[in-house]
Amino acid sequence: MPAGRRKPAPFPSKQDVLRFIEESPGRVGKREIVRAFRISGEDRVALKRLIRDLQDDGLLRRAGKRRVTGAATLPAVCVVEITEIDLDGELLARPVRWDGDEAPPRILMVPGAPGARGTAAPGIGDRVLTRLRRADEGGYEGRAIRLLEAGPRQLLGVFEPTSDGGRIHPTDRRARKSYIVAAGEALEAKRGEIVRAEALPGRRLGLPRAKITERLGTIDAPRSIGLLAIHSHGIPTEFSAAALAQAEAAAAPGAAGRSDLRPLPLITIDGPDARDFDDAVWAEPDPNANNPGGWHAIVAIADVAHFVRPGDALDGEARERGNSVYLPDRVVPMLPEALSNGLCSLNAGEERPCLAAHLWLSAEGKLRRHRFERGLMRSAARLTYEQVQAVADGHEDAEALRETAIAPLYGAYKALRAARGRRGALEIELPERRVHFAEDGSVADIRPEPRFDSHRLIEELMIAANVAAAETLEAKGGLCMYRVHDQPDLAKLESLRPFLAGLGFKLSRSRAMKPENFNQILRKAAETPHAYLINTVILRAQSQAEYSPRNLGHFGLGLPRYAHFTSPIRRYADLLVHRALIAALGLGPGGLPKNAAAGAEAVATHISQTERRAALAERDAMDRYAASYLAERVGAVMPGRIAGVTRFGLFVKLDETGADGLVPARTLGRSRPRHDAERHCLTVDGGRLSLGDRVAVRLADADAVSGGLVLDLVELKGRPWPSG
């Protein structure tokens, strides 16, 4: 090489470019990348392709027309707000200031360095000056430098009186300390009562202090567990006087301006304990000769938009709640009972206003065309999934019902199910468990819910109606609140591939992943000992579904557009879609206002959050009911499977109840376990404990108040475990 000429740098990999962007203190554009890697000539074209690939993969985002920035970058030191405690007991935070288009990065708070200033460990609501570093698995780890502003700390607990006042024992299983309550701040609470309290500042040493702000009833009262879940997650339970008055004064509309669907034998199909019925279905062979073997189906949905108008008192309450919350012992409804169980419920034999979707399906299940109308209907029957399946299978003497209602519905379902298979929707089915109560409110048992074709029939018809709603609004140019499910995060896929490869399953490296890529692996694993494990890790690799006015498609269902239309009694998103259809199709009053688009993003964020809040409350309640049910079986040995692996122990899902319990790492052996996050395993004393392994465990403790189960490992894959 001639003297004075600099040796060209090797062309950077995607990882090189990402590392450079993440480590750069300022914003990075193409010019900075060219300079850093000394790129010239034809390599500039290759760099342009590389950057485009990273953007397509979601690892970079555009800023303006030409600059490129990392997907989630924060300064080395910033102010964060503590937002929650996760299931592992870790504090999670988010930056106070965040200008990115995407969601802010996840920040896991870790113990601060020796000498860090501040009087106490941070809690939820606190603002903390924090030192950040990139975590290996994505997101950030944060170390508190200084507590800047303490947020109000609310807690829920069980009161125990003492000579000088009392103690509050928090119901949160992750809370490690009780709270002292002075005699004058106990609100005359009694032993065993559930109380809401506010933590008080001060006390570097000893137990923290709190004052009781509300008494919620005794822990021994029947079904108090549902109450705990509701209050723990801040779920609204009381309606305003204006909303209740509006619901009580509501009147059903007449038939004027509505299609008369009363002659059709529409039926509702729900669980045996359902109290509100917002969808009814009917089908017939399509009489159109141009659609041989095809079907005409109707999905009729309660016309909630007639009763709940934009901006009124009921609308404000429904929007705040976002959705109904379904706990094992109760429902916290989105709308007052006068509507949710009355005028908006498609009760058998009663006339009800509805918004109906007419669906014309080909013999192969393709949605050929659809039409929406406002109608008046009368449900012919209130049936359960078990009853419908029994009729379909010929086990009940209901020939007339089978021929007029059930058989055509199953015909339409089989066509839709075949279409689902062809488009390759993700096929993960995990068993759902149900709590069964004794007459006194105690738990009688917890067992898996059976799954019938009747469940799938309703699901497929609802999906078809949801697709029709999204297609209609898109064709009309109307605002649509889409139900979106993005492709799996690339970082999750990169960690999933080697794990699956280690078990002998190869996951495609295609940038355009499809559900069928996962289904191929699920089918291959179905008859192997790894079936549960692979279903679990594939499910965890998926993105979280949410609501958005921007269409991202629905990856799991394999659909290019999708919206929730079928449950406006219990989901605000569906009510918005009803209003949008009414406005776009000119179906009368109650449509979406013209200025609705201005606040659509904020509404989507809010209702996505309330949905997650409800899911957490439902899981919380199930955990507590399971602990209550198992409390009398402490010491018993039970079979299960490792469902989670963390550095502090194993989560084991028990076969009988589906409850999750913790095997603490300290009980597993003499040496400290080594945690391998990529392989989802702990290695201790020469043994490896992996996600999905069959185990037997001894129940060491069951706390119904916190919902916590503590377990001891007894057997691994049928062999005794040394520490057991």
Reported as a single tens digit per residue, the pLDDT across 66-116 is 334 444 478 888 888 887 665 455 678 888 877 554 567 778 888 754 434
What kind and span of H or E run contains 501?
helix 490-502
Specify the length of the chain in residues. 724
Q: How far apart are CA 353 and CA 253, in angstroms?
A: 7
Closest residue by Cα to residue 576 from 597, 558, 560: 597
pLDDT value of position 202: 62
Distance (Å) of CA 589 to CA 244, 253, 257, 595: 22, 12, 11, 16
Amino acid (one-letter) located at 625: Y
Residue holding tokens 């080909």? 362
Token pair recorded at residue 627:
């602990």
pLDDT value of position 58: 52
pLDDT value of position 5: 43
Q: How far apart are CA 567 and CA 112, in angstroms?
A: 47
pLDDT value of position 155: 83
Q: How far apart are CA 497 and CA 517, in angstroms?
A: 12
pLDDT value of position 89: 57
**Half-sphere exposure for 448 (CA within 13 Å, toward CB):** 10
Q: What is the DSSP letter of 340?
A: I
Do residues 30 and 47 make contact, with C-beta atoms less than 8 angstroms apart? yes
In order, the DSSP letters of 560-622 are S--B--S-TTTBHHHHHHHHHHHHHHT--SS---TTGGGGHHHHHHHHHHHHHHHHHHHHHHH
pLDDT value of position 362: 98
pLDDT value of position 151: 55
All residue ranges of the chain with pLDDT < 50 are 1-7, 63-72, 87, 101, 113-119, 724
Residue holding tokens 């488009």? 423
Number of separate helices (H) and strands (E) present in the chain: 17, 34
Token pair recorded at residue 262:
């009363």
pLDDT value of position 282: 98
The neighbour count for residue 370, using CB atoms within 10 Å, is: 19
pLDDT value of position 116: 44
Q: How far apart are CA 164 and CA 177, in angstroms?
A: 18
pTM: predicted TM-score of the whole model, two decimal places: 0.78
Strand 259-260 and strand 367-378: the pairing is: parallel
Closest residue by Cα to residue 560 from 627, 665, 483, 478: 483
Q: Which domains are present in the chain?
A: 14-70 (1.10.10), 77-149 (2.40.50.140), 154-221 (2.40.50.700), 241-484+550-618 (no CATH), 490-542 (no CATH), 634-720 (2.40.50.140)
